[in-house]
Copies of this chain bind each other. A is one copy, B any other.
Amino acid sequence: MTHANTHLEIDAQLAALERLHPDLHGRDFLLTTDKTRADLEAVLLVAEILERLHAANASARVFESGLAISIFRDQSTRTRFSFASATSLLGLQLSELDEKKTQVAHGETVRETANMISFLTECIGIRDDMYIGKGHTYMTEVGAALDEGFAEGVLHQRPNLVNLQCDIDHPTQSMADLAHLKTTFGGDLAALQGKRIAMTWAYSPSYGKPLSVPQGIITLMARFGMDVVLAHPEGYDLLPDTLTQAEQGARESGGRFSVTHSMQEAFEGADIVYPKSWAPFAVMQRRTELLEQGDDAGLQALEKECLAQNATFQDWECTDDTMKRTREGKALYMHCLPADITDVSCAAGEVSAEVFERYRLDTYREASWKPFVIAAMILTSRFDDPAALLRALRDRQIPRRGL
């Protein structure tokens, strides 16, 4: 099944994995900033090995039974199907906790529900990205409830959490992005040292998008020695802590982190550009407060004010002209999708149709890493020796499809 070439490729990846000694077993994956660089490299390698095994039609089924549960508190296509793909790859059955179908709204506490859904569960993926200060807090509460349930003998095993996007980070996205960069720049993370990545705000008619993608990108990429430039109009700040973390990451990795209020400046000499809309942090915070107060009039006023402010930044668009400023005019364009494409999905958006079309298949390849990254996060959290397990998967020669 696995050809000689694949066998050798996987061998090299396994050898690299064995050198890392990550500390991932039994731990949730909530924020990349919680993880060591060895942890992150190990997740990437496991994702790459799973990708190779899949391409070579080798089964990666490591569970005979058991549930994976997803809780989506915001809509999703890509991440939803990536999670379904990842859990299927490993042999888990997916159950979605749909809060509308359940009694969660009827006075159940988080810790009770966390235990009730976990008796035969291996992992829980959660998306909760709508309100500043809420999503990550919710995930840590679920984690603490599972700790208690396991310690007190309620659960035979404690499921691990995978953050499918919170208010702070979007690690399955940023790690997929890192895998895409590693592949695009020759397969070695060392090649990213000194590469300039422009994480810039871009205009979109829907102004309320989460901050977790830019926050996830600047904090992660700075740790891999990249020259990270964050650009946004004044007022479109990110969570202050994430800037501090990006600075620290850059310092420790020999990278750079800087902020500018000009998309043009950020694009200058960039190897990679990531133009994407997000909501202003201060606005998100006010919105969260107004929602808590149930102040509909306040929310409408805020929205009106924001849309007016937002509309003044329509020139923050990634076009052929802005792309010319990048290194040899050929920077890699990245996006977490769906992009707001001018004249395609809206009248004025984040990116021109020409630029998007040139890089469209690249963005699909970028997205293609997400299922494998999620599977890697699950596998490394559930098994203490992922290298041995993956070696066994490769060697046992059970086809993924066919007999």
- A-side residues, CB < 8 A to B, are 54-55, 59-67, 69, 72, 75-78, 80-82, 84-95, 97, 101-104, 106-109, 112-113, 115-117, 119-122, 148-149, 152-156, 206, 337-338, 340-341, 344-346, 360-361, 364-365, 367-368, 370-371, 382-383, 389, 392-393, 396, 398-403
30 A-B residue pairs with CB within 8 Å: A61-B65, A62-B401, A64-B398, A64-B399, A65-B91, A67-B84, A67-B85, A67-B88, A75-B102, A75-B103, A76-B102, A77-B97, A77-B103, A77-B117, A80-B102, A81-B117, A88-B92, A93-B94, A107-B345, A108-B345, A109-B344, A112-B337, A112-B360, A112-B364, A115-B367, A116-B367, A119-B371, A148-B361, A154-B365, A382-B401
> Given A59-B65, A65-B59, A364–B154 Cβ distance below 8 Å?
yes
Pair A156/B55 contact, Cβ less than 8 Å: yes
Most buried by B among A119, A122, A360, A367: A119
Q: How far is the CB of A242 from chain B (nearest CB, A)?
A: 24
Give chain B residues whose Cβ lies under 8 Å from the Cβ of A337. 108, 112, 116
Q: How far is the CB of A55 from chain B (nearest CB, A)?
A: 5
Pair B364/A77 contact, Cβ less than 8 Å: no
Give chain B residues whose Cβ lies under 8 Å from the Cβ of A120. 54, 85-86, 88-89, 371
Residue of B nearest to A395 (CB): B403
Task: List 9 A-B pairs, minimum CB-CB distance, nearest first.
Answer: A107-B345, A85-B120, A59-B64, A77-B102, A88-B93, A154-B364, A84-B95, A81-B117, A108-B338
> Given A116-B81, A154-B364, A396-B403, A338–B106 Cβ distance below 8 Å?
yes
Q: How far is the CB of A388 from chain B (nearest CB, A)?
A: 9
Q: How far is the CB of A336 from chain B (nearest CB, A)?
A: 11
CA of A340 to CA of B103, assembled, Å:
12
Pair A64/B401 contact, Cβ less than 8 Å: yes
Residue of B nearest to A338 (CB): B108
Pair A393/B399 contact, Cβ less than 8 Å: no
CA of A55 to CA of B153, assembled, Å:
11
Most buried by B among A84, A91, A94, A371: A84
Most buried by B among A107, A117, A361: A107
Pair B116/A77 contact, Cβ less than 8 Å: yes
Q: How far is the CB of A56 from chain B (nearest CB, A)?
A: 9
Q: How far is the CB of A374 from chain B (nearest CB, A)?
A: 11
CA of A378 to CA of B98, assembled, Å:
25
Pair A400/B112 contact, Cβ less than 8 Å: no
Residue of B nearest to A69 (CB): B81
Give chain B residues whose Cβ lies under 8 Å from the Cβ of A370. 119
Residue of B nearest to A86 (CB): B120
Pair B400/A65 contact, Cβ less than 8 Å: yes
A76-B102, A77-B97, A77-B116 given; 17 more Cβ-contact pairs under 8 Å:
A64-B398, A65-B89, A66-B400, A67-B81, A75-B101, A77-B117, A81-B95, A81-B117, A85-B121, A107-B345, A108-B337, A112-B364, A116-B337, A116-B367, A152-B364, A154-B361, A154-B368
